[in-house]
Amino acid sequence: MKYLKYVGALLFAFIVYTFLYLPILVTILFSFNESKVQVLPIKKLTFDWYRGLFSNTELWVAAKNSLIVSLPATLCAIVFGTLAAYLFQRYRIRGGTFLQFLILLPYILPGIIIGTSLNLLFKFLKVDASLMTVIIGHITFITPVVMFLVMDRLKRFDRNLEFASMDLGASPMRTFLLITLPNIRSAVLAGALLGLTISFDEVVVSFFLIGTDNTLPMLIWSMIRHGYSPQINAVYTLIVLFSLGLIAIAGSRLFAQRNSKAITEE
């Protein structure tokens, strides 16, 4: 009976993971398939689709636009998110929980709501849609990611270290830069990497706020609409690897910090 339960659980886990990861693996597999039609078995492997990417200027411009959006948006979100986390954690703000929730909201709400409302706001303010407006849109949902990771880290950070620093002659500002920041650095970095990943893949908010430009995920989306090309599989594979890489770094940073903290507390 116990054995059956164990096998059942294993089978269930297998189904869940297959459902999550099989499409990704299949797409990666077909990005190396020479044939234009996606059918098994694969007759011949090729790098042609990847080679084709290099000559696709449209793709490169879109990729560049994505970076133009994601990097500054992430940088701003680091500053806003860290400061917000610090304020919420260090000072008892009246209605603090509610205010935190308000900052979290853009991350939870469907992108379409953020997208349309910002779109209307910019129209009202007579701001032309551009990569700049997309950056602002992205800041709204990366900031909460940074904020909550940093807050979690600050909760486990010994406040006496800040007191000790001020006691030894450092102003609150220098204390933050010399003592607090180095100790929450990994959480800030992890937040930034996760934020970057989300921003880099984001379509909906960008769609409502962008002018004539294209970001990479938007271009892929429009490519799919115009008909399937195995080149999409190749781009897709690269994005998956890029994102997984960032997430892996962020994750290892967070876990490394947690473990070292756990050891020193023993």
Partner 1 sequence: MINQEQAVVELRQVSKRFGNYEAIKNLNLSIRRGEFFSIVGPSGCGKTTTLKMIAGFDHATEGAVYLSGTSANHIPPYKRNVNTVFQNYALFPHMTVYDNVAYPLKLRKVPKNVIRSRVIESLKMVSMDPFLDRSPNQLSGGQKQRVALARALISKPEVLLLDEPLSALDFHLRQEMQRVLKHLQREVDITFVYITHDQGEALSLSDRIAVMKNGVLHQVGSPEEIYEMPQTSFVAGFIGKSNLIKGRMEGPTRFVSDAGLQAMTNEASNLSGEPHVYISVRPEKLRTSKDDERYVNRLSAVFVEETYYGADRELTFREAGGTHILLKQQKDGGNVKFSEGESVDLFFRPEDAVIVKDWRS
Residues found near partner 1 in the complex (CB under 8 A): 158, 160-161, 163-172, 174, 178-179, 182-183, 263-264
Buried b (16+ CB within 10 A) or exposed e, 47-60: eebbeeeeebeebe
Please give the Cα distance from 49 to 38 (Å, whole number): 14
**Least spacing, CB of residue 147 vs partner 1, in Å:** 22
Which of residues 179 and 192 has its CB atom nearest to partner 1 in the complex? 179
Per the document, the length of the chain is 266
Task: Give ∠ CA 73-75-78 in degrees, rounded to 5.
Answer: 110
**Least spacing, CB of residue 163 vs partner 1, in Å:** 6
Which amino acid appears at position 145 of this protein?
Answer: V
Which of residues 41 and 182 has its CB atom nearest to partner 1 in the complex? 182
Which of residues 128 and 158 has its CB atom nearest to partner 1 in the complex? 158
Task: Give ∠ CA 93-192-97 in degrees, rounded to 5.
Answer: 20
Which of residues 117 and 183 has its CB atom nearest to partner 1 in the complex? 183
**Least spacing, CB of residue 256 vs partner 1, in Å:** 14
Which of residues 33 and 165 has its CB atom nearest to partner 1 in the complex? 165
Supply 92's token pair: 């008892």
Q: Which residue has the tokens 């709501």?
A: 113
**Least spacing, CB of residue 81 vs partner 1, in Å:** 21
Cα 25 to chain centroid, rounded? 21
Which of residues 4 and 168 has its CB atom nearest to partner 1 in the complex? 168
Which of residues 35 and 259 has its CB atom nearest to partner 1 in the complex? 259
Distances (CA, A) of 70 to 135, 151, 192, 193, 216: 7, 22, 10, 10, 11
**Least spacing, CB of residue 211 vs partner 1, in Å:** 45
N- to C-terminal Cα separation, the chain: 40
With a CB cutoff of 8 Å and minimum separation 6, the contacts of 182 are none
**Least spacing, CB of residue 180 vs partner 1, in Å:** 10
**Least spacing, CB of residue 179 vs partner 1, in Å:** 6
Please give the Cα distance from 35 to 50 (Å, whole number): 14
With a CB cutoff of 8 Å and minimum separation 6, the contacts of 196 are 70, 71, 74, 142, 246
